[in-house]
Structure formats: structure tokens, C-alpha cells
Chain A
Amino acid sequence: MGFAPTFIFAFAMGMKCHFMAGYSAYCGGIGAAAEVLQAAEMGGDLAESCSYHRLHMGMAEAVKRNIPINPDAILPIPDIMIAGRLCPEMAYYAEGLNRRLGVPVLPVEFPIVFDREDVPRIKKYFAAQIKETVIPTLEKVCGKPFDYDRMSEILTVLKKVVTVRNKCWEFFKEKPSYWTLWDYGVSIAPLFYMMGDPVGITYYEKLLKELQERKEKGIPAIGPEGEKYRLYWDGWLPWAFLGKFMRKLTPHAAVCLTGRYLWEFYPDPDMIDPEHPVETWINLYYDGKEPLAMEYAPKGALHEIGNLIEDYSLDGMIMFSSKTCRLWNISQLDVIDMLEKKYGVPGVIIEGDMIDPAMVSDSQIDTRLEALFELIDARRR
């Protein structure tokens, strides 16, 4: 188990990995979320806790108490949990599973960086943890030296994957767009679960070919006339409700094209240097014009979203505010205000959850979307 900045080290050791958001998206995708969340409540979890956290606790409760849930939602007990503490909840679930199942925890602090001046020392801290704790612990668990060569191979493949994937990304700039953020969201698994497997290159090459064909044949992502509203989507994708949101957006000829969340996964392949695997991986998060580790904090968000608004000719912003996970919500209302003032692009908050149906209200979504479209229309007049 792990999270984005750390699981490559487990992959390099030949370990099979699951990661928090990946499992949650999977549960949402197979329609198992509601029953797993119910199992969590039976274990005493409070409904206001992060739904990704609750999904893992629910799965553990189901295993412990033999509660019948969709068998496809049950994971094997891991040998180790890498508790990457990007948001503190990402550590709580590993700590909780340790208390309930006794699985060893390998904790890594991965602070969200608020100010650029803090980047060098936080990078140094993250790097020290990788070298001092992560690699030695994985060596101990696996009973063999860390496989730097395998990590280099993984990065070589990843670099190719991301390069092809970026060509697909370019299609979001087309007007009309030939695919949506949702399409990209459901295409993300090869990046993670097949990290280092050349099949990822094949996957994105096929995707690229399909996008090129759509362009040649003039088949836009939505409707024969293409989109009326080109939108930014902030925060997690609503994994259990992708269809619901698409059904709400499409009748308005609205399409979500970009978002910070999915953009965070290695936008700059030139930074990947397989010859220096560990260093390059750390650099990916802390170097570059806009370090990824800053993207979660408001100042990084303002910069990143501003760039996306300009580069992708966006008309409006949907700021998805999860009621149980506040990772992407940080100062979201002020961020909207500042972006509106700078770029003249309106935004609305949509409250909901990535997984938990009890937190999603149709009428609230409809009302907010209608307000957004009216705002965009008013500014076009």
C-alpha cells in the first residue's frame, strides 16, 4: 500500500501495490462503495470521517467480522502500509489498519508546501526520509537490497508513458474537445497500477490514435455541436458518481476538461532522469517552475488553475468540495474569488463526496450548475 510519491519504491522491489485513492475509485467504479461504507459504520466509524478512510476501515471490518460485502471489494492483507502523510487522513487510515489488523506501518511525512521559500528544506526532509526510512524498510521487508536498476527501468517506461499521455492531453486544448476529464480519469490506471509495464505505452498510444481519429472525423466529446461551456474541475473526481455528473453536464453542452488533481501526475516528462532514479523522483515533486508539492496549497493552486484557464480556454470553474476529504478544499472559496477577479472566469462550489452517496444532493448540484451557466452566459453578453 502507498500513495503516489512513495509507491514507486515498492514497485521497484517487485511488490504488488494498492493505493488509497486507487482502491476507493475502484470501489466506486464497481458500485461497492455504499455497502463497504455501511460495514465501516458497523465498526463505529463516524459518517463525517474521510470516505476513503472509511472504505478501508469498512473493508477491514468486513474481513474481521465476516460481514458479507461484494467479494471484489476485499483486498488481501498487506505486508506493509506506506503511510504517506500528504494529507493527515492518508496516515490515519494506515494507523487505523495497524491498530485493527496489526499490519506494520512505514510512515512518510510529505508536507503540502505553502510558500516557495520552504521548498528546499522540505525537499531535503522528504529525501532524507526516503533514504533513511523508506528504502531500508522495504529492503528489510523484502529481504533483498533495493533494486535501483528496476526503479530506473520503471522510470524509463514512465517517461515514455507520460510523453505519449501528454500528447493526449494536448487534445483538451482543441475546440471542441475530443475527450473529457472523466475519460482521462478512467484512463489513469496504467499510470499507477501498471507503472513500469510497457503495456502503459501501448495503452496511451491507442488512446492517442483514437483521439486523432476523432479529430479527423470531427467527433467531439459531447454532442454533434460540441461544447458550449468549457469547464475546470477542482478536487477529486467523484468516482462513484461519474455518470451522474456527466448526465447533469451534457444536457447543458458543458464539458470538464482540466483539473489540478489529475494534472499532478508527472506533467513534465523531461524532468524524469532514469539514470538517477531516487533523485529524479524527489525532483519531480519539488523542482520545476511550479513544484507539484505546492499545488495543493492555495498559492500553488492559484498559479496552476490560472495557467489551466488560459491554456485550455476555459469558461468556468466547478470547485468540487468534498464534505469528508478537505485536501482539495483548502481556501477554495477565496481561491475562486481571486481567480474570478484576475481572469473574469466565474466559479461555483459543488458540495458532495467522491464516494459516499449520503453526501451527494442532486438538487444542490443542479442549482449550482444552473447558476454557473447563467453567470457564464451573462458575461458573454
Chain B
Amino acid sequence: MQVPEEIVHAAGLIPVVIWRGNEAVTWGHSHIPPYYCGIVRSFIDDAVRGKLGFMDGMIFHVRQCLLIMDIPLIIERHVKPEYMKLLYLPPVYPGEATRDFLISDLELFKKSLEEYTGNTITDDMLKSSIAVYNENRSLLERLYEIRRKKPQILTSAEVMKIVWAGMLMQKEDHNELLKELLPLMEAMTIEPTTKIKVIPIGCLCQIPPFDVLNMIEDLGMVIPDDDLYVGSRYFANKVNMNDNPIEALAERHLKKTPVCPTKGVWDVLWADDVEEMVKLNNASGVISIHVKFCPPHACYYPDFKSRMIEKGIPEILVQVEHEMLSMEGIKTRLQSFTESLGGE
């Protein structure tokens, strides 16, 4: 999250966004307490079980949250990738010092990749990679526009999988696949829905459990849009190309919206962002999906909720974990929420 993949791409490497595995954490608990978020526990579990040996390099943004800081030493000890780099991308604080430091961090990142690959990353190469990524963002935006008009054209889990695939595969290939898919979606005729529209938000750095997304739809709601990381947050804000591509990437990092609690933004409110999204989609409510033991989201949540109440937007919290022990509690909450919105 927040690592500018374009620099890795320009180095001729395939950037892959850290993922949460699909197995229960076992050996990992000898290295990380159970009161850490799913993605960190799952990734460390994969690391110590020897499942990450196929990766050539790893990059960690250690200022994203406290939990991610646990990973580097464990990776150094148990995976020993050929290339490893820690980034200190700063929060969006005012002043030139922050911007200068951010640019220096990105320059050093570029230099370290050059040293690893033995190839110089020219400005033109970086601009070319930015263009590929911007195209991907445009294509995903288009996908979301179509979905907004025809919310039932894909299930929410399918949309997540499309976005997620782009985080794991070569971007050029993803772009080609999207270019095949989008005209087909545009050509499809879907009957307008009368179902209740809801917006899921949260899961700030990982994919929500598909079961939860499916459950929302099974209960008679439809998801026309989202404010999820593996969703609209991932492709928000294109890089504004200028003469200096590193500075352009820095400017993207310094954008305050979509508001992310990890980025130190307090003068723009997340709830205002979400209110806009609710209006745009004519949605009836918001489902906050909080990954258990995600401190940035947990600390921000009470303020978000109180703003939702002030704005008169129905909202409910669903907490998810890597190992979902029971879906019944979530189902009960979502059923009640549906009924309160006038659903069956």
C-alpha cells in the first residue's frame, strides 16, 4: 500500500502488492502475536513456512502503520530475499520538509533498484511506466462507471477479483484483459435494480473476505461502488505527468483524498468523501468493514460513525478477521441493517 509501483515497473521488475493468504496462521504464531491484523499474520506465516522463496525482492513501507514494522526483521531472518528495501514515506503533513523528504525517499528507492538490477532507470522509462499505470487506473475507473450504471453486472466479489488481479500480474496484461472485458460489459443489458444500494468502506490495505461481500448481496442489497483498498482506493488519483516523474509520484502520494487514516490527514474528513460517494450512487447506507486489529481504522472509526449519524446516513460496522470463526454474527448484523433500510 502506498508504495509507488511505477518505480519497480520501470526497473523491469513485476511489482506485486502484498497479499493475505488463504490458509490459517500456524507457524507464524511463533513470530507474531494473535492480536495483529490478518494480512501481517498471514504474510509472516507464509514467510516462516518457506512459501515466499519465489519472490526476488521485497519492499516495505514501514511508516504505514505499527504492525507492518514487524515484518522486515522476520523477512530478513527467514526469507532472505535478494533485494529488500524499507521506505519511510511520510504522512501528508504541511511544509516543504515533508515533500523534500518524500522525494529523497523515492530517489533512494529508484537508486537501490538500479543497483539491484544493474540498469539505469531513466526519466523516460519512468514516464512510460506511469503511463501504463495511469491507463490501468482509467480502465478501472471505466469499469466502476459501468458498474455504477448497472450495479448487478458483476458481483462485488468479482469486481474485487478484477482489481486484485491487477495487483498481482503484469500491468500491461491486466490492461489488455480490461480492454477485452469493458466493451462486453458496456454492451450488456441489465434490468435496472430496485434493490437497496449500499457502499462498503474500509479494509484499508487488504481484501475483504469474499463471503462477507457475497452475504451482503445474498441479503438483498447491491453494491454499486466501494471505498475499499482492493477497490476504488487502489486506482484513485492518476499521476499528473510533469517533467520530473519522481516529483509527480510524490505529488500523488501527497493527495489527501481518498482520506486514509494512515496518512495523517485531519483537515479533510473521510465521512465527507463517503457522503459524496453515497450521493453519487444514490445509496441507502454504508457498511464499514473493519479488519480486526487495524489500529488506523479502529482509531478513526468513532469519528467516522458520529459524522455518519450527523449526516443521517445509515451505517453499520462489520469486523472481519483472517480466520473467520463464525459468519453468523455478521449475518445477524447485516440482516438487521437491511431491514432497517427497508429491505426484507
Q: Which residues of A approach B to under 8 Å, CB–CB?
A: 43-46, 48-50, 53, 57, 83, 85, 87-89, 91-96, 98-100, 105, 107-109, 111-112, 114-115, 118, 121-122, 124-125, 128-129, 132-133, 297-299, 321, 323, 326-327, 329-331, 333-335, 338, 349, 351
B24-53 vs A, Cβ < 8 Å mask (1 yes, 0 no): 000000111101100000000000000000
Contact of A330 among B70, B298, B301, B305 (CB under 8 A): B70
**Which residues of B are found within 8 Å of A299, using beta-carbon distances?**
73
Main secondary structure of the interface of B (DSSP, over half): helix
Quote the shortest CB–CB distance from A187 to chain B (angstroms).
Answer: 28
Question: What 6 pairs between A and B have smallest CB-CB spacing?
Answer: A44-B302, A128-B97, A92-B299, A95-B266, A298-B73, A331-B73
| CB-CB nearest in chain B for A57 | B302
Contact of B35 among A48, A115, A334 (CB under 8 A): A48
Asked if A85 and B264 make an inter-chain contact with CB atoms under 8 angstroms apart, the answer reads yes
List 19 contacting pairs A-B, 8 Å CB cutoff, sorted by A. Answer: A44-B301, A45-B302, A48-B292, A48-B293, A88-B65, A92-B296, A105-B266, A107-B91, A109-B91, A109-B98, A112-B62, A118-B86, A124-B101, A125-B101, A128-B101, A129-B95, A132-B97, A323-B35, A331-B74
**Which residues of A are found within 8 Å of B261, using beta-carbon distances?**
92
B67-95 vs A, Cβ < 8 Å mask (1 yes, 0 no): 10110111001000000001010110111
Once the chains are docked, how many angstroms separate the CA of A112 from the CA of B305?
31
Tell me which residues from 303 to 342 in chain B have a Cβ below 8 Å from any Cβ of chain A. 303, 305-306
Quote the shortest CB–CB distance from B133 to chain A (angstroms).
Answer: 26
Contact of A46 among B94, B97, B298 (CB under 8 A): B298
Once the chains are docked, how many angstroms separate the CA of A331 from the CA of B77?
11
Contact of B104 among A95, A121, A330 (CB under 8 A): A121
Asked if B63 and A111 make an inter-chain contact with CB atoms under 8 angstroms apart, the answer reads yes
CB within 8 Å for A46 and B301 given contacts A91-B264, A109-B90, A331-B73: yes
| CB-CB nearest in chain B for A299 | B73
Asked if A326 and B97 make an inter-chain contact with CB atoms under 8 angstroms apart, the answer reads no
Asked if A95 and B298 make an inter-chain contact with CB atoms under 8 angstroms apart, the answer reads no
Interface centre among A46, A95, A114, A349 (most CB of B within 10 A): A46
Asked if A129 and B299 make an inter-chain contact with CB atoms under 8 angstroms apart, the answer reads no
| CB-CB nearest in chain A for B104 | A121
**Which residues of B are found within 8 Å of A49, using beta-carbon distances?**
295, 298-299
Say yes or no: is B269 at the interface (Cβ < 8 Å to chain A). yes
Quote the shortest CB–CB distance from B151 to chain A (angstroms).
Answer: 30
| CB-CB nearest in chain A for B98 | A109
**Which residues of B are found within 8 Å of A330, using beta-carbon distances?**
66, 69-70, 73
| CB-CB nearest in chain A for B108 | A121
Say yes or no: is B116 at the interface (Cβ < 8 Å to chain A). no
Asked if B93 and A109 make an inter-chain contact with CB atoms under 8 angstroms apart, the answer reads yes
Once the chains are docked, how many angstroms separate the CA of A49 from the CA of B296?
9
Quote the shortest CB–CB distance from A41 to chain B (angstroms).
Answer: 9
Say yes or no: is B262 at the interface (Cβ < 8 Å to chain A). yes
**Which residues of A are found within 8 Å of B91, using beta-carbon distances?**
85, 88, 91, 107, 109
Asked if A114 and B86 make an inter-chain contact with CB atoms under 8 angstroms apart, the answer reads yes
CB within 8 Å for A133 and B101 given contacts A88-B295, A334-B73: no
**Which residues of A are found within 8 Å of B32, using beta-carbon distances?**
333
**Which residues of B are found within 8 Å of A323, using beta-carbon distances?**
33, 35
Contact of B88 among A94, A98, A111 (CB under 8 A): A111
**Which residues of B are found within 8 Å of A108, using beta-carbon distances?**
93
Contact of A92 among B96, B295, B306 (CB under 8 A): B295
CB within 8 Å for A333 and B101 given contacts A91-B264, A115-B86: no
Once the chains are docked, how many angstroms separate the CA of A335 from the CA of B36?
17
Once the chains are docked, how many angstroms separate the CA of A125 from the CA of B99?
10
CB within 8 Å for A44 and B306 given contacts A105-B266, A109-B98: yes
**Which residues of A are found within 8 Å of B96, using beta-carbon distances?**
128, 132
* Seed contacts A112-B62, A128-B97, A331-B70; 16 additional CB < 8 Å A-B pairs: A43-B302, A49-B298, A49-B299, A89-B295, A94-B266, A100-B303, A107-B264, A109-B91, A114-B72, A124-B101, A132-B95, A297-B69, A326-B69, A327-B66, A331-B74, A334-B31
